């Protein structure tokens, strides 16, 4: 105890740590009507931490070589102590992260918290969401299974529908005319180096925006007060709010444990939900599997491509939807955030989820 106090005094006299902690924990006030949906960001951070840890452990044994990748993953599963657990956790957590990314995005959409002054929070989050999907796409290829090979062939093939640059793009993504050693090399570099660095940098910016602007109050109930928009910067203060610590951290930690429980249950009892039979067969460019279905989070893109008469139209429709989503806060300028008072938005929102 004495040592802890001395260490704290030492740090405090140099960096003003006590003031920093107070301003960001007990003295940081959140809106009184904050709800469970605001814990999704913390859940994402916890799962991301675990994902980085399991990823680093997998890297110790994984070999990014078309001749050895599948065998190295099989070795991790069968021979490395607890290797199967580390790999399953990595696969299952990647799916949970995408699920929580969707939930976080849909909840901020529903509560209108993407609106001014949170445009940059939204935009950075939207790029993080897309980076999350690219993380999954690049990771999918690494085990060099039939699933990896053919899913990547289909996904990179889609770029070929873009006029003029399509063929160049396909070859650029693959590093050659077809998926092969060059594809594995660039996907590996992206997955373990470029993406993590870019993702962490952008996440830092996202969290900075959240803290600097202040958490929005939930647009429900009598306590909700629309914030007045001013031209100059104002921090969204909640002077009658609840302290971030311990009131809110307790809630966040319980929700994080809830998500971790889901992760453990899926990992131990139903990991095959995310590891179909084609993932257990080494890649063979000469044998096309009968059923090659994309991951659940890419199914909508797959369906959109099927609905439209040409791939180009399908891709353009997707690009238009994603583009509109990215710039939504710059199009939806009204200050109203209460869902009950935004019937048109809520209708489009529900239709979008249903479709």
Give residues in contact with ligand HEM (CB under 6 A): 38, 40-42, 44-45, 48, 101, 104-105, 108, 113-114, 118, 121-122, 125-126, 128-129, 203, 206, 210, 215-216
Which one, 226 or 277, has the nearer CB to ligand HEM? 226
Q: What is the dihedral of CA 26, 27, 32, 36, to 10 degrees?
A: -50
Nearest-approach distance from CB 342 to ligand HEM, in angstroms: 16
| Residue of 147, 156, 146 whose CA lies nearest to 182 | 156
H helices of 62-82, in order, are: 69-78
Minimum CB separation of residue 43 from ligand HEM in Å reads 8
Nearer to ligand HEM, 260 or 280 (CB): 260
Locate tokens 């070859």: which residue? 171
Q: Which helix (H) or strand (E) covers residue 281, if one does?
A: none
Least Å distance, CB 214 to ligand HEM, is: 7
Please, what is the minimum distance in Å from the beta carbon of residue 50 to ligand HEM? 12
In the complex, minimum distance from the CB of residue 324 to ligand HEM, in angstroms, rounded to a whole number: 13
Q: Using the minimum distance from each CB to ligand HEM, give the nearer residue, 61 or 205.
A: 205
**113 vs 146, beta carbon nearer ligand HEM:** 113
Residue 101 or 158 with smaller CB distance to ligand HEM: 101
Nearer to ligand HEM (CB atom), residue 314 or residue 329: 329
At its nearest, how many Å lie between ligand HEM and the CB of residue 85? 23
- Integer Cα distance of 184 and 190 in angstroms: 10
Q: Give the nearest distance from C-beta 317 to ligand HEM in angstroms.
A: 20
Beta carbon nearer to ligand HEM, 7 or 36: 36
- Determine contact, residues 99/174, Cβ cutoff 8 Å: no
Q: Give residues with Cβ within 8 angstroms of 184, minimum separation 6.
A: 64, 65, 66, 69, 141, 142, 144
Length of the chain: 355
Q: Which residues contact 334 (CB under 8 A, 6 or more apart)?
A: 115
170-177 long-range Cβ contacts below 8 angstroms, 24+ apart: none
What the block records as the tokens of 294 is 């994309």
CA gap 96, 100 in Å, rounded: 6
Could you give the CA distance from residue 126 to residue 278 in angstroms, rounded to a whole number?
Answer: 31
């Amino acid at each position: 105890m004495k040592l802890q106090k001395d260490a704290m005094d030492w740090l405090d006299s140099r960096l003003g740590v006590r003031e920093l902690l107070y301003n960001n924990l007990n003295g940081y006030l959140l809106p009184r009507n904050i709800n469970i949906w605001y814990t999704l960001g913390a859940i994402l951070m916890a799962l991301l931490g675990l994902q980085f840890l399991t990823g680093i452990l997998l890297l110790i044994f994984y070999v990014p070589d078309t001749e050895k990748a599948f065998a190295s993953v099989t070795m991790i599963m069968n021979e490395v102590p607890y290797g199967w657990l580390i790999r399953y956790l990595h696969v299952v957590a990647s799916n949970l992260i995408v699920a929580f990314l969707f939930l976080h995005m849909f909840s901020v959409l529903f509560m209108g918290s993407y609106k001014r002054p949170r445009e940059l929070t939204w935009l950075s989050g939207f790029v993080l969401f897309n980076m999350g999907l690219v993380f999954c796409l690049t990771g999918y290829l690494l085990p060099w299974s039939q699933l990896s090979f053919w899913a990547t062939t289909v996904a990179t093939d889609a770029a070929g529908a873009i006029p003029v640059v399509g063929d160049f793009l396909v070859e650029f993504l693959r590093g050659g005319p077809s998926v092969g050693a060059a594809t594995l090399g660039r996907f590996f570099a992206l997955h373990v180096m470029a993406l993590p660095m870019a993702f962490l940098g952008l996440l830092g910016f996202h969290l900075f925006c959240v803290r600097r602007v202040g958490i929005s109050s939930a647009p429900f109930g009598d306590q909700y007060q629309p914030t007045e928009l001013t031209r100059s910067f104002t921090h969204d203060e909640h002077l009658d709010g609840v302290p971030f610590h311990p009131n809110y951290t307790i809630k966040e930690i319980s929700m994080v444990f809830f998500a971790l429980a889901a992760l453990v249950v899926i990992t131990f009892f139903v990991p095959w939900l995310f590891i179909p039979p084609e993932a257990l067969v080494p890649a063979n460019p000469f044998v096309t599997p009968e059923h090659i279905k994309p991951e659940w989070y890419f199914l909508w893109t797959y369906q959109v491509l099927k609905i439209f008469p040409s791939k180009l139209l399908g891709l353009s429709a997707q690009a238009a939807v994603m583009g509109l989503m990215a710039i939504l806060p710059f199009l939806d300028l009204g200050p109203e955030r209460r869902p009950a008072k935004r019937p048109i938005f809520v209708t489009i929102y529900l239709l979008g989820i249903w479709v």
